[in-house]
Amino acid sequence: MIVVFLGPPGAGKGTQAKRLAARLGLPHVSTGDLLRSAVERGTPLGREAALYLDRGSLVPDETMLGLVGELLDRGDHARGVVLDGFPRTTPQAEAFDRLLSARGRAVGIVFLLDITEEDAVRRLTARVWCPKCGGVHNLVADPSVVEGICDSCGGPLEHRSDDVRHVIAARFEEYRRLTQPTLQYYRAAGKLLTVDAGRPIDDVTAEIDAAVDDSGKPGQAASR
Ligand code: AP5
């Protein structure tokens, strides 16, 4: 089963994708996390990605498809995967479908987490993350038990370098220009399910859980 989470910056893709992946026993793959980890390690991919992340631009499609294509062939991804932030352009979605179909697989359901820009900016400016394990907290909605310390690994929490207002604005512009048209691709395929993500974290999770059964297939509550 392949589940995709899309939505604007700060909509809660990572928060909800991790929860669903844990429930279904599937790997959670965030392309943003993969890129940030490559930047931290200073790999060739990281050096290329840093140029885009710091500006709030999307990394080129070929780079992203190479990265995700390799993951698909890993044994631990054979049963399925919960993708967070990929595909996010129409060329990525089309090429991803070709990669999957060559392997006899297909995207099952795409969640669009819908939120206003104002709410998203409020969340992003209060977000802290752990560069050591990728854990995410929010100073308002989801604070760590000990201030400044990651609940999962005890590492120090910090603000993401792209969570500053002018880069957030650029990320929204990229979302409107390149990702919003991709929603139509999945809507036309009957795979898009829109969730009001402006509500409390547990309410959003409840709606997602009702839409996907334990095997990862769209459940009866899925309304498009
Ligand atoms: P990525 O890391 O994917 O960034 P993004 O899309 O901007 O999304 P965010 O991670 O900012 O937000 P989120 O929706 O995951 O929200 P979260 O759950 O953290 O990508 C970063 C960059 O990588 C891109 O700009 C691009 O350069 C590159 N990239 C990645 N994928 C790419 C691709 N496919 N193609 C090309 N380039 C790519 O929640 C946000 C905060 O709100 C947290 O503090 C959380 O605790 C809190 N929160 C969550 N839900 C709620 C709620 N319901 N109520 C209150 N607070 C909440």
Token pair, residue 2, equals 């392949």
pLDDT of residue 216: 66
pLDDT of residue 223: 45
pLDDT of residue 213: 80
pLDDT of residue 78: 83
Q: Is 119 exposed, middle or buried (0-12, 13-18, 19+ CB in 10 A)?
A: middle
- Kindly name the residue from 55, 122, 132, 160 that is annotated as catalytic: 160
How far is residue 210 CA from its own chain's centroid?
20
Closest CA to 58 of 143, 166, 175, 160: 175
Going by C-beta distance under 8 Å and a sequence separation of 6 or more, which residues neighbour residue 84?
5, 13, 14, 17, 18, 28, 29, 30, 31, 32, 33
Per the CB < 8 A criterion, the answer to whether 102 and 204 are in contact is: no
Between CA 3 and CA 20 the distance in angstroms is 9
- Cα(15) to ligand 1 centroid in Å equals 9
- Kindly name the residue from 13, 41, 103, 199 that is annotated as catalytic: 13
- Kindly name the residue from 19, 123, 127, 191 that is annotated as catalytic: 127
pLDDT of residue 209: 96
pLDDT of residue 137: 95
- pTM (global) more than 0.85: yes
Tell me the CA distances in angstroms from 50 to 200, 209, 212, 222, one per residue in order: 32, 35, 35, 38
Q: What is the dihedral of CA 6, 12, 18, 19, to 10 degrees?
A: -110
Per the CB < 8 A criterion, the answer to whether 204 and 16 are in contact is: yes
pLDDT of residue 73: 83
127 is catalytic: yes
Residue identifier of the C-alpha nearest atom 40 of ligand 1: 10
Per-residue pLDDT of the chain (224 residues; tens, 9 = 90+): 899 999 999 999 999 999 999 999 999 999 999 999 999 899 999 999 999 999 999 999 999 999 998 888 887 888 899 999 999 999 999 999 999 999 999 999 999 999 999 999 999 999 999 988 889 999 999 999 999 999 999 999 999 999 999 999 999 999 999 999 999 999 999 999 999 999 999 999 999 999 998 776 676 555 45
Nearest atom of ligand 1 to the alpha carbon of 57: 27
Closest CA to 191 of 113, 119, 112: 112
171 is catalytic: yes
Nearest atom of ligand 1 to the alpha carbon of 87: 34
H or E element at residue 83: strand 81-84
Q: Is 75 exposed, middle or buried (0-12, 13-18, 19+ CB in 10 A)?
A: exposed
